[in-house]
Structures are given as structure tokens and as C-alpha cells.
Amino acid sequence: MSRHILTEEGMKYLRSGLPEERLALILDKPLPLEECRKRVEDFAIALSWAKKKGLVNVSGNIISLAGRPKTFPEREALGKISGGGDVGGEMLNVLLSRNLIRRAEDDYKKAERQLADGITTLTPELIKTRLWQKARLKPYNVEAVGRKEYPGKRHPYNQFLRFVRQKLVEMGFREMEGPTIELEFWNFDALYQAQNHPSRDWTQTYSLKYPKYGALPGKEMVARVQAAHENGWKTGSTGWGYKWDPKKASQLMPRAHDTAISPRYLSQGVEIPGKYFSLVRCYRPDVIDATHAVEFYQMGGFVIAEGLSFRDLLGLLKMFAKDLSGAEEVKFYSDYYPFVEPGAQVSVKHPEMGWIELAGAGIFRPELTEPLGIKEPVIAWGFGIDRLAMIKLGINDIRQLFSQDLKWLREREIAGL
Amino acid sequence: MPTIEISYADLCRLAGRKIPVKELETDILYVKGEIESREGDRIKIDIKDTNRPDLWSTEGMARELRAKYGATGLPKYSAEKPKFSVPVDTRSPVQPLAACAVARNLRIDENFLSQIVQLQEKLGQTFGRNRRELSMGIYDLDRIMLPIKYTSMKPGDITFTPLGSAMEMTAREILSEHPKGREFGRLLADAKEYPVWVDGSGAVLSMPPVINSEPAGNVGGHTRNAFMECTGYNVKFLDTVINVLAMQMADRGASIEAVETAYAGKKILTPGFSPKKMQINISYINKLSGLNLTPARIIELLRRSNCNAIQEADSIVAEYPSYRQDIMHPVDIIEDIIIAYGYNRIEPAYPRLATSGSMLATEKFSAAIAEVLGGLGFQEVMNYTLTSNQEQFDRMGISGGKAVEIENYMSENWSAFRAWLLPGLLSFLSTNQHSEFPQKICELGNAILPDESAPSKARDVMKLACAITGNAAGYEDISGALDAAMRSIGIKYKLSRTTHNSFIEGRAAAVLMENKGIGHVGEIHPNVLNNFGIERPVACFEVDISRVYESWQQRHKR
């Protein structure tokens, strides 16, 4: 296998003869220099090599043949090399110095091999050696669908949650957080839900086997909450009228509603006016089916400012309903949560599904806010965000929000939020 | 929230008006209700308020609607003087207090009977917290020999025929064999003596909070006069329940007669219908509601809420019915005013407040990491934080793992909080054995760890876990991904050879940041793969992102 390949010039000379050869061919009789220049390509090279080789005589401006050579060894050598053969050292130097060949080395081998297979893939070797010229690049079925690729995508439910978060931030709400394992105190007592009372039964809750009891927060605040439960404290309320038990309040439970976070923030001091929200997982025992999960997200929060009224609450709910669900029509219902009065529920009209319950809301009771050190009205709400997510993501089984189906996750289009 | 089934025609009759269905859909809001379903004459209504037992019957809803339609003010109920007294001398710790009433001249039709049964059921279930706080009974007075008393007996001495049975049973038999006994028997578990209602002949009328007896407890079309009782711990609740039961009877035309309950040293007369009063500042009403109501309009709205009201200087004094034990503060009356006004007639206002919004810093951080993982081709998955110790420890080859555990779980699959994320990822992979390989998944989410130093004895830790599976998934693939993620957020870390039962010996490393362990990386042990039913190798890592965030934040502090 030759370790050299022809340059473009070399290939041309192999095809149509060396320049001096072509010059010799036309000199059947002496010719004027100007005529030779017109008839012979690369005339300068031809004359220079013809003189060097002693093929021609030049007198004045007339060129005549000195003797016709039988062969042109360079051309034979080019032929050999292009045919895959090799030539002797001296001739090699001549051809290299005339820039008619160059070293091919390994490229050649590779390209040769590739050529033999037919060119499907255009390789660096084929491009560099120009051997691609020797073959036709095979056409592809360009109309076929491309190979399956699976990009790393965010989970569609997380995408939705992020949309909700972003929306709330745009509306000027500050995000809150709280622990998953919560004291009953924050989940219930600080929200003015009486112990051993149906007010605590508006939802089923989990209790813990381990750990069982936590530490209550600051004594003074706890004492005010206790007084509010027992006799209304200084709020102008009768209170629930029972003996409040700190042990019960220190029991631990997984947070059953996002509202458990709000009294933590209210008791630690919030900006007034202030707008706050949380978007967290909550836990309630239930029999799991297409519409019931034991673990689910809620989006809730509060707005605090002097002079807020029930009308503001309705306005806020209406704005949420429109911005988050895209619904145009909203309807308000009376509703009951022990920690709000007045209480309300907002439903939105979905084009196919009809009226859908979106959120519960209300104005926090004074028995809740005042013991936490808050004098201004606080309007609060809690969204069951899962329902909205299901509508937005076009799924009808709540379990699919935490889908275990990789194919579904891979194939899903990015939610057009 | 109780769901009440009623007859539409019956409701209209009691409300004194033929209510068109369309209107009912709106008017039902006055009773904090929502129509759940309607089949012909039968309507199911969800009553939102668990603290308004007076609304949990056709009679109660009609009572509220009559006021709404007619602005009738305080409803007029009265009880005749008692004809007998009921001694209470129970030595049982279970439901030691009682309240009673008598209804005479009853005419019980089918609708009425179904409401009597349903109201008792809902009161016991919701208001009585499944009979834990209180329970009640209604008896055919003509089948009872006076005097009636509320007392207690040793379980071995109690024998009677439970309602709906043909045979006498002992208390023990009832608790072990009768469906009600099996359901509510635990409420008597610690009692040496059981509370019982007994009549003049010594017959047991009922054994609260479990079941009434035959034939006294059998109330129906034949019943002309009824005795009603409620037992529990809280006088306020008992009074409310006995009032609600008595009003139901009165609304159906019965006359109510008070009963004296005689404790050692004091006597109590029930039911009591004297109204209660509350004074509310007019400007407070308008401020809280956001409405601009005149005193006259407020008084009218209150009359539509079963209240009488008068103006006194800058205040309204509202007289509200005794059964409204839910009213504790002026805000409760204000809600009634707004409900009577109509929520959907109010023009919403939006509070225009200058506040600046912000997301949790950890949210932003995790979103940035999620973006890097997406670039590495990991599909994000989401798993529940509730799992089981079997999945997160046993299947992972780990013994002695400690997790936050649920006591009252309904399914063992959801009985503990995850202490780490990898078991969830393996579980995910096990359900996708027929999807295309290789599979690259990741999860960013909280683990919940027991922590004695935290006020709630547990803390949330944000973790990142990634897994790769396929015929050739190996250590280098996953350690490379870990490295890419850590480099992208500029976190310096080291890998240190370790042994871990979930990983193959010699193919596991601890991830160290500032010389402290923040996670693991390695190839999952084939034993674990078998436990999960996974058929291809899995390489994975999990790191504590909360800790990574703290370090990152330290470095980016000015």
C-alpha cells in the first residue's frame, strides 16, 4: 500500500501529461515562444523543466526540440503511486519537491476502507484525503422521524407548582415554610380549634407513633392561646369554655393543612401590610383512590393590613381563581373552618367539568390573631392545589400527580402554562 | 362535614314555600349547604358547618329558610312545665352528664321518621365525635314505666334486648357480638360500671353510648309521646343537642315538655329556649364586612337569620336562639349578616398593597440544581414522602433504621416518613422494567428525619438522589453525574471508600463535604436489586442538599 497520494496537481499531470511533456508534444517544428505560451498550460513550469532536462533549445524567441524522450518517468511514477504502488527514493524526492504527491500515511488506509464500504458516514479522514470525491455520498431517508431521545425534564407536577409559586411571587406574596412534623399546637390550638371538640374534626388527621411529643413555644404566648380557648382572653369572645390541656397541644402530627404555618409566622412578627403564602405537602388518612390521596399539596397564606374586609377577601379569591385557574366565572359559598369567621369558599366554572371547588377562606378569628400579638385583620385562604393541577395537566386520577410511569413522564409535553 | 339526605317536597312544605330547584341551589347557601346530588325528590346536601347541628335536618334547614324568606326574627319555641324528674346518679366515668326532653302529640310519618334517625346519627357522628363526646336516644314514652333514671351498673348485671334484635343479650355479648357493640364498645373499655338508662320497672332502656333497647327504643308511626335524652361530658353540648332534637319535634307539630334532671345537690331543667344576647358595634360590622349597611338594614338581615335585633346608640343588640352555641364573638353574628346579605351580591374589592414578593431561597437553589440535572439527561420524578420501613430499610438491606412513624395508618404502605430518597427511586425503577433503557431519573425532595433537638422532634432535609439503570450502568456514570452537579454549583467534595449494605462491596463511596458525610454514591447491591425486582444494574447517589445549600450560602455571603 502506497504511503503517498497524489496532490491535485499530480492528479492533473497524470491525466493530461507533465507540462514539459505537453510542450514537447507541440514542437514538431520550432515555434515562437509566444505561440507556445498560448498553447501550453503551465507554460512557465513547462519551459523551466524542459530546459532543465535539456529537451529544448531556445534561441531568440524561437523554441525547438533538442530530442524527443521516450518516456517521462515522473508521469509513470505518478501512475504507479495513484495505482497504489511505490516508487524509488530519488523519484519520490523529485515528485515531492514538485509538489505532485504528499505523504498519505494512515488516513489513506482508513479512507480506503471506508470507500470500500460505500460512503454513508462522512468521516474526518474522507474529508481530509479528499477521497470523498471518489464516491457518491449515499442519500438518507430524510423524511423518517428521528431517533427517540429522552431529554431530562422536570416533573410536570413540579412544573405546575413552580408556575403557582412564580405567580404568587409576581403578585407580591412572600413564601413561608414550616416543618412537616408539626405540634398539634400549631396545626390546631393556635388556630383556635378546641380540643375534644368537633371543631377539630373538620378533617381526619394522622397521629405519630414516634416521635410522640414536642416542645411548646414561648410560655406567654401559649398562656394567651390557652386563655382564648378557655374564656376568650381579652378578645371579647366567650371562648370555647373548657379546660385547655398543654399535653394534648404538644402532641406531634404530620401537618394536616398548610394553614398550620400561618400562626408560626404571625406569632414571630410579620410585615404589615404583608402578603404571605406557602406551598407545602399535607397529610391526612384516607382510603386512596382516584380522588383521594393521603399526601397532597396545599397552597395557602394570608394578607394582613389595617382595614381589610370580607370584600377584600372575595376580591383576592376572585383574582386567584382567574390567575391560577384561568376561569372567568367565580361563585362564593359560605363555609366553615373553626379558625375563620366569616368563612367562604370559592368555586370556578370549568368549560367541561362545571363548577369546581377551588379554595376555602375567611378572616382569621380575633381569638386566633390577638393571642399571637396581631391586631390587624388577617384574611386567609387555603387552596387544594392538586385539583387545579389535575385540570391543568389533563389527568383524572390524583395518583397520577405522583406518577410512577416513566414512559408517561418521558413522552409528556411540557405543560403549556 | 355532614351530608344530609332530604325530601325536596318535605323541605318545601316545612319552609312554607314551593322553592324552584334553581332557587334552591342558591338559597341552600343560607344554610351553609351545597347540593351534592339530586335524584327525583331525594336531595343530598352537604352542610359545611360542623358546628351548627341545628342545620342537619330537613326541619333545621326549613327553619333557616323560613327566616330568610320572611325575616321572621327569633323563632318561637317553648317548653311546658316538667311532669317528671330524672335522677342522675351514675358512677361510671363514661358520659356522666345528661339532658332530657319530652315531645307529646307526635304524628310520625315516613319523612319525619327518616329525619329523626338521620339527625341522631349525624349528631352522634359529627357533633359527638363518633359518640366519644356525647350520644343520645329517643324512646316511646308510652312503653316506659316512670320514673326513669340515669345510673350505672356492673357489666355482668346488664341484660336487655338491643334495638333491632329479637333476643335478650348481656352487656358482654352486645360488646362482642352486636355490630354497634363492636363499633362503640371501646368507649366503655376502661369503665368498671357502664352507664344505663333504666325505667320504673327496672328495665334497661339503653346503654350509652352503644345502643338502645327494644321495645322502648323502637320509635315509629305508632309513637305518640317521646322521651329524649343526651349524655356526655359538656353541659353546653348536651343543651344544644337536646334543643335541636326538641325543635325538630316541635317543627313537626309536637308540643315540648321540659324534664328536670336531678343531680345530687342541683336540678337542671331542659330544654331551655331563652334567647341569648350580644352587642355589636355598627362600625365594626361595616368595617369587617366591607359593606355599608344602615342600622335598619342590619336589623332586617338579622331577622332573616333567626335573630331579633334593636339599635342602641352606635351598636346593634342581637337576640339569638339558644341552640346557637357556635356564637362566641361578634364576628359570628357578622357572618350571619353577610350570609343573609348574600355572598354573591357583594362586589369584590382587591386590596392594593405595596409588598414585594419572594420565593424561598432553597426553592431557587433546588430549581437551579434541577436545571443542571436536566442538562445531564435525568428525568425528574416525584415520590410520596410517606412510605414504609419495609421499603426504605428492609428492602435496602438496612437494619436498625429510624424513621418518623405514623400511629393510625390505614395502609402499611404509608406508615412512615422517608428518611432518604433512594428507596423511592428504586421502587420507581422496579415499576418501569419494560420502559426503554438506559433510564436516568432524579428526585429533589424532602426527607423527614427524627431529631431530638428540634421542637417538633423531627426536621425536613432537602435531598437530591439520582439513579441510572441499564445493561451497562456503572459507577463512573453516576460519579460523573455527581461531579457535574457539584462542579456546576461550585461545591468541593471528596469521595471516600466506604461499606454500605445497600451497595456492592468495593463500589460505594461516602460523599464528603468539608470532611463531613453528606451522602453516598455507588452501585446497588444485587441483593437489593432482587428485593425490588430490578433486573439491570443500578448506579446511584444521594446527597443532602440542605447542607450543600448552607455551604454554598456561606461562600456567597458578602
Helices vs strands, H then E, count in chain B? 16, 29
- Min Cα separation A328/chain B (Å): 14
According to the model, what pLDDT value does residue A1 have? 46
CB-based burial, A45-57: b 16+ in 10 Å, e otherwise: bbbebbeeeebbe
Task: Look at A201 and B331 and tell me if their CB atoms are within 8 Å.
Answer: no
Average pLDDT over residues A331-342: 92
Average pLDDT over residues A130-145: 83
Interface probe for A, chosen from B301, B355, B468 (most Cβ of A below 10 Å), is B355
* pLDDT of A275 above 90: yes
Task: Look at A236 and B440 and tell me if their CB atoms are within 8 Å.
Answer: no
Task: Look at A407 and B435 and tell me if their CB atoms are within 8 Å.
Answer: yes
pTM, to two decimals: 0.83
Tell me if residue A56 falls in helix, strand or coil. strand
- A173 found inside a domain: yes
Report DSSP state, residue A136. Answer: P
Cα-based distances in Å from A350 to A69, A190, B144, B168? 98, 36, 57, 57
Q: What is the ipTM of this complex?
A: 0.91
B81 burial via Cβ count (<10 Å: 0-12, 13-18, 19+): exposed
> A79 touching B, CB under 8 A?
no
Instruction: Confirm if B331 and A379 have CB atoms less than 8 A apart.
Output: no
Nearest CA in chain A to B441: A152
Residues A122 and A196 in one domain: no
Report DSSP state, residue A414. Answer: P
Task: Look at A235 and B1 and tell me if their CB atoms are within 8 Å.
Answer: no
Instruction: Confirm if A152 and B376 have CB atoms less than 8 A apart.
Output: yes
Instruction: Confirm if A303 and B353 have CB atoms less than 8 A apart.
Output: yes
Strand partners of residue B279: B317
In angstroms, the CA B522 to CA B496 distance is 11
Nearest CA in chain A to B456: A214
For residue B147, is the peptide bond before it cis, meaning its omega torsion is within 30 degrees of 0? Answer: yes
Strand partners of residue B206: B197, B212
- A219 found inside a domain: no
Per residue in B183-235, pLDDT tens?
999 999 889 999 999 999 999 999 999 999 999 999 999 999 999 999 999 99
Residues A114 and A52 in one domain: yes
Task: Look at B335 and A158 and tell me if their CB atoms are within 8 Å.
Answer: no
According to the model, what pLDDT value does residue B558 have? 57
Strand partners of residue B417: B386
Cα-based distances in Å from A336 to A258, A364, A365, B51, B332? 16, 12, 12, 8, 11
Task: Look at B405 and A174 and tell me if their CB atoms are within 8 Å.
Answer: no
Instruction: Confirm if B229 and B197 have CB atoms less than 8 A apart.
Output: yes
Which residue type, as a one-letter code, is found at position B180? K
Instruction: Confirm if B482 and B376 have CB atoms less than 8 A apart.
Output: no
Range of the domain at A399: 156-180+191-205+254-411
Instruction: Confirm if A387 and A356 have CB atoms less than 8 A apart.
Output: yes
According to the model, what pLDDT value does residue A114 have? 67
User: Which pairs with CB-CB distance under 8 Å and at least 24 residues apart come from A290-293?
Assistant: A290/A396, A290/A397, A290/A398, A290/A399, A291/A398, A292/A398, A293/A386, A293/A398, A293/A399, A293/A401, A293/A402
How many residue pairs bridge chain A and chain B with CB atoms within 8 Å of each other? 290
B5 burial via Cβ count (<10 Å: 0-12, 13-18, 19+): middle
Report DSSP state, residue A134. Answer: G
Residues A398 and A258 in one domain: yes
Residues A174 and A306 in one domain: yes
- A217 found inside a domain: no
Task: Look at B379 and A152 and tell me if their CB atoms are within 8 Å.
Answer: yes
Instruction: Confirm if B111 and B10 have CB atoms less than 8 A apart.
Output: yes
Q: What would you report as the CA-atom Rg of chain A, rounded to the nearest whole angstrom?
A: 45
- For the ranges A138-142, A209-213, A288-292, B353-357, the lowest mean pLDDT is seen at A138-142
Give the CATH number, domain containing residue A369: 3.30.930.10
* pLDDT of B336 above 90: yes
In angstroms, the CA B509 to CA B520 distance is 6
Q: Which residues of A touch B432 (CB under 8 A)?
A: 404-407
- Min Cα separation A408/chain B (Å): 10
DSSP alpha helix (H) spans, B345-457:
361-375, 389, 422-430
Residues A40 and A172 in one domain: no
Angle between helices B282-289 and A310-320 (to 10 degrees): 10
Greater pLDDT, A199 or B429: B429
> A218 touching B, CB under 8 A?
no
Residues A200 and A65 in one domain: no
DSSP alpha helix (H) spans, B502-544:
526-532
Per residue in B286-316, pLDDT tens?
999 999 999 999 999 999 999 999 999 999 9
Q: Report residue A415's pLDDT band, with 50, 70 and 90 as the boundaries.
A: low
Give the closest of A295, A334, A342 to B386, CB-based: A295
- A95 found inside a domain: yes
Phi, psi of B14 (to 5 degrees): -70, -30
Give the closest of A168, A179, A312 to B350, CB-based: A312
Average pLDDT over residues B424-450: 97
Instruction: Confirm if B468 and B405 have CB atoms less than 8 A apart.
Output: no
Strand partners of residue A251: A213
Question: How many domains, in total, are found in chain A?
Answer: 2
Task: Look at A336 and B50 and tell me if their CB atoms are within 8 Å.
Answer: yes
In angstroms, the CA B472 to CA B491 distance is 28
* pLDDT of A152 above 80: yes
According to the model, what pLDDT value does residue B414 have? 95
- A149 found inside a domain: no
Residues A119 and A19 in one domain: yes
- A343 found inside a domain: yes
In angstroms, the CA A183 to CA A214 distance is 6
Residues A130 and A264 in one domain: no
Domains and CATH numbers, chain B: 3-70 (3.30.56.10), 79-268 (3.50.40.10), 276-342 (3.30.56.10), 361-556 (3.30.930.10)
Instruction: Confirm if B551 and B513 have CB atoms less than 8 A apart.
Output: yes
According to the model, what pLDDT value does residue A41 have? 86
Percentage of chain B exceeding pLDDT 90: 93
In angstroms, the CA A75 to CA A49 distance is 14
- HEC string of A102-126 equals EECHHHHHHHHHHHHHCECCCCHHH
Task: Look at B357 and A173 and tell me if their CB atoms are within 8 Å.
Answer: yes
Q: Which residues of A touch B281 (CB under 8 A)?
A: none
> A291 touching B, CB under 8 A?
no
**Stretch 137-166 of chain A: residues touching chain B, C-beta under 8 Å:** 148, 150-155, 157-158, 162, 165-166
- Min Cα separation B56/chain A (Å): 14
B78 burial via Cβ count (<10 Å: 0-12, 13-18, 19+): exposed
Residues A201 and A331 in one domain: yes
Average pLDDT over residues B57-85: 96
Nearest to B240 by CA among B333, B125, B326: B326
Residues A129 and A161 in one domain: no
Average pLDDT over residues B115-129: 94
> A280 touching B, CB under 8 A?
no
* pLDDT of A369 above 50: yes
Residues A112 and A258 in one domain: no
In angstroms, the CA A11 to CA A82 distance is 8
Q: 456492592: which residue's cell? A: B504
> A329 touching B, CB under 8 A?
no
* pLDDT of A336 above 70: yes
Per residue in A377-389, pLDDT tens?
999 999 889 988 9
Give the closest of A208, A215, A342 to B338, CB-based: A342
Per residue in B81-109, pLDDT tens?
999 999 999 999 999 999 999 999 999 99
3-state helix, strand, coil in chain B (%, to 5): 35, 30, 35
- Min Cα separation B373/chain A (Å): 7
In angstroms, the CA A6 to CA B514 distance is 62
Instruction: Confirm if A113 and A95 have CB atoms less than 8 A apart.
Output: no
In angstroms, the CA B239 to CA B274 distance is 12
Per residue in B30-42, pLDDT tens?
899 989 999 999 9
Q: Report residue A416's pLDDT band, with 50, 70 and 90 as the boundaries.
A: low
According to the model, what pLDDT value does residue A27 have? 85
- A235 found inside a domain: no
In angstroms, the CA A4 to CA B164 distance is 109
Greater pLDDT, A203 or A306: A306
In angstroms, the CA A216 to CA A316 distance is 33
Q: 367562604: which residue's cell? A: A344
Interface probe for B, chosen from A175, A185, A297, A406 (most Cβ of B below 10 Å), is A406
In angstroms, the CA B440 to CA B463 distance is 17
Residues A197 and A341 in one domain: yes
Bridge-based pairing state of the strands B42-47 and B308-312: unpaired
- A142 found inside a domain: no
